[in-house]
Amino acid sequence: MHELSVCQALLAQVENVARDNNAQRVDRVILRIGPLAGIESRLLQDAFPIACAGTVAAGAELVIEELPLVVRCKNCGAETAAAPNRLICGVCGDWHTQLVSGDELLLASVELTKS
Amino acid sequence: MCDTCGCNITPGNKHLVEAGGKLAHSADGKAAVDVLHGLLSENDRQAAHNRDHLDKHGVLAVNLMSSPGAGKTALLEATIAALKDELRIAVIEGDLETENDAERIRAHGVPAIQITTGSACHLDAHMVHDALHHLDLSQIDLLFIENVGNLVCPASFDLGHHRNVVLLSTTEGDDKPAKYPVMFRAADLLLLTKSDLLAVLDDFVPARAEQHLRRLANAAPVLQLSARKGAGLQDWLDWLRAEIAARREARQKFRAAPKLSGVLK
């Protein structure tokens, strides 16, 4: 699956942040992921230590904050919670909706120990 | 996922993703650096570069995605046979192994670049960039990128293409859009392929496939076709012609627009 490629992209960003901040060690990496990002959090958790081995982020904790799936109805304007395969309005049932939140794949923050 | 800048932050979700200041401190006294970057921003940057490159040459790039065996290469063969006197076509083929698909395409007299991904389950913008350098874009109107047969991973990677076309063959379930929402939500056009088999398959209902697509809030057109028998091909070819015409029109408008730098003094 593609979680290892995503992890490698993540690691490249984390290494940049560590370098820019003269970090000795990366302690924690915090991601924010929506259900429609196409990323399986558990697989990312499995891939992370492998990608990080031998880098400044070796041994770092990966924290994944799951973001809610929310749609706004173009018909009635309501904002409602949705499921990945059911993005219809929770109030009027119209399928003409816009995603407000749920497809994010973000590196939120990096916690590090400075040298 | 964000198709352009990779930041994924909109006025709607800003309050959900923002936290603390630029350089905050965690509870245990570690330095905490806020980043808020899309994880695939490096891929997205490369994809934007690819798109600029294609736009400069007026090439329409179509990303074909489906499960393995849904008929992507057969569709390309039928499309090339129908359009090769009208449009200059090229193909980038993505597979884990073999040059088979590229050879099938070359047999029709159009250039084909094969990307073998090894174990990678998708194409990314860097692989497509390398392939673009083997093509003379000034001699191409329409570029197909046949992605690796997979309904999961290819949906997460922008390649720098303009349109996503997703194929769903009638021998698969009509509930595939409900099972693979990330992929089908990204479709700009859904093609129901192998339509000639509908007569012998009693469990695939095209209207049901469309209903599942609409539940993903996707208004993309749904077309039925059979690449082998030629049924329904005209609608697909017309869709391609309309996309190319729209791209050319946008390009001409862009070129005709007065340069702002000369006006603002």
Contact A106 B36 (CB under 8 A): yes
Residue A114, H or E segment: strand A105-114
**What is the reported pLDDT for B82?**
97
Strand locations in A7-56 (E): 23-33
Which residue from B66, B72, B64, B75 is spatially nearest to B228, judged by alpha carbons? Answer: B75
Count chain A–chain B contacts defined by CB atoms under 8 A: 143
CA dihedral B39, B37, B21, A112 (to 10 degrees): 50
Q: What is the mean pLDDT of each run of 10 residues along chain A (115 residues)?
A: 83 94 95 93 91 94 96 98 97 98 95 88
Which residues share a beta bridge with A29?
A62, A110
pLDDT digits (tens, 9 = 90+) for B115-145: 998 878 899 999 999 999 999 999 999 999 9
Contact B217 A106 (CB under 8 A): no
Domains of chain B, CATH where assigned:
58-247 (3.40.50.300)
Assigned token pair, A102? 């749920």
Contacts of A39 in chain B (CB under 8 A): 156
Domains of chain A, CATH where assigned:
3-67+102-114 (3.30.2320.50)
B10 touching A (Cβ < 8 Å): yes
**What is the reported pLDDT for B1?**
32
pLDDT digits (tens, 9 = 90+) for B10-32: 344 344 444 443 344 555 567 88
Contact B33 A112 (CB under 8 A): yes
CB B218 within 8 A of CB B195: no
Q: What percent of chain B has pLDDT over 90?
A: 74
The tokens 């009635």 sit on which residue? Answer: A76
B39 touching A (Cβ < 8 Å): yes
> Which has the higher per-residue pLDDT, B40 or A80?
A80
Mean pLDDT of B91-101: 93
**What is the reported pLDDT for B102?**
94
Contact A68 B16 (CB under 8 A): yes
**What is the reported pLDDT for B98?**
92
Minimal Cβ distance to A5: which of B8, B17, B120:
B120
